[in-house]
Amino acid sequence: MGKQLLIFFLLFFVLQSGLSQEISIGKRDKVYSEILQQDRQFSVYFPPSYNIAVNQKYPVLYILDGDYNFQYVAGFLELQGGISEIIPEMILVAISGKGTNEYRKNCKPKVEGVEDSGNAEEMANFIEKELIPYVNKNYKVADYKILGGHSVGGIFVINTAINHPELFNNYIAISPALWWGKNAMENVMENTWGKTGSTSASVYISLANEQGMGVNEFIKKIPKNMMEKNIHFQEFPNEIHNSVGLPTYKWALDDIFKNWYVKEEYFGSAEALKNHYSEVKKQYGSIFNIPYTIVGNTHYMLQKNEKERAKVQAVLKELNPNALVLFNTYRAGKLVDSKDYAEAEQLLKDALAINPNNFDSYDVLARIKMANGNAVEANETIDKALGLANKQQARQWQINELLETKAEINKKP
């Protein structure tokens, strides 16, 4: 009875420590701008593997009016990148608007004859020369970045795409307020795109069920060859102005990363794996993360083909060691289920040699020690996993898996 009571209190305190933690998917940061002569704050969202993966770099989505849009865009990236794995895991940098008047001034370019002009060029220079270098230095970013903005922020996105076409890989303008300044952006566009008839920018423009936004008029004046090559336009007739952001990001990001996504959700051979990510790297400059679903399904398809499975492991080690850690840990878990503990333990040792802080590997290792009757070592191992998961700000569902293993260990007589 005394032992059971002790176990109860141990589990109680572990659960309480998990429940008392703050929920964190990012942080607030700032950089002083010499260009704007002020501190500029921004919020950063970190994808699920950010604090776990070794030497992993992520594409970045920069958005305007960040304090207003951060939560819903971060949630979308969590779903599409971390859970659905339809797009790569991404970092979100949400630039604070600093209040309505300041925000609008920073989004509108200076246009001759337009009284309500702003300082969008200074803001673009701040992003290019101060914010992006700061983010590159302080966060694990790949050299692939996207700019998104809604309404007035859409004006800034289009102005930046016109005047700084190579600053971002893609531009997403969500129901941009192109009525501004009596359709002043048409003149801005015609003075550049209209004269050259080409651009390196890839621009996604959306429109909700709105009248008078000036978007259709703007689209009609874009040179035909650019509309075919560079401009992607989508209307969302079932959305209002304030709801069109989410479907726009889904449409645009799904299209941007359509060649990263693995439609079959597995690879039947090491050659297919290598060829796919060779093309991905060629297009995006990086392979980003290899999804857990792809790793798990590939293992499942090759579970009876030891020779090809070994080739896949070799390719994963070359392409993305984090994916090899996932593969080995996944396979080790399956081997534990079939009671092949020796091979499972060796796979985990190989995984932990690559990433000694992978809590999932320690979770499976704890199950091996439990199966071998080493309750003390099993508890020590799962406690290490829990400590790492908390330190790395793992998602609560991941911590729940570790707590479940701990509960199973402590059930053993």
Per-residue confidence (pLDDT) for residue 13, from 0 to 100? 44
| Residue 106: per-residue pLDDT | 96
Q: What is the pTM of this model?
A: 0.93
**Which residue pairs, CB below 8 angstroms and at least 24 apart, start in 115-119?**
116/180, 116/181, 117/181
* pLDDT, position 195: 85
Residues 6+ apart with CB under 8 A from 115: none
CB 201 within 8 A of CB 192: no
Looking at residue 411, its pLDDT comes to: 86
Report the alpha-carbon distance of residue 40 to residue 208 in Å, rounded: 31
How confident is the prediction along the chain (413 residues), in pLDDT tens digits per residue? 444 443 444 444 444 444 556 777 899 999 999 999 999 999 999 999 999 999 999 999 999 999 999 999 999 999 999 999 999 999 999 999 999 999 999 999 999 999 999 999 999 999 999 999 999 999 999 999 999 999 999 999 999 999 999 999 999 999 999 999 999 999 999 999 988 889 999 999 999 999 999 999 999 999 999 999 999 999 999 999 999 999 999 999 999 999 999 999 999 999 999 999 999 999 999 999 999 999 999 999 999 999 999 999 999 999 999 999 999 999 999 999 999 999 999 999 999 999 999 999 999 999 999 999 999 999 999 999 999 999 999 999 999 999 999 999 998 66
Asked whether the beta carbons of 366 and 409 are under 8 A apart, the reply is: yes
Per-residue pLDDT at 25: 83
The rounded distance, in Å, linking the Cα atoms of 351 and 228 is 47
What pLDDT is recorded for position 21?
A: 60
Q: CA 316 to CA 323: how far, in whole Å? A: 6
The amino acid occupying position 221 is: K
Could you tell me which of 22, 91, 57 has the C-alpha nearest to residue 285? Answer: 57
Distance of alpha carbon 107 from alpha carbon 174, whole angstroms = 14
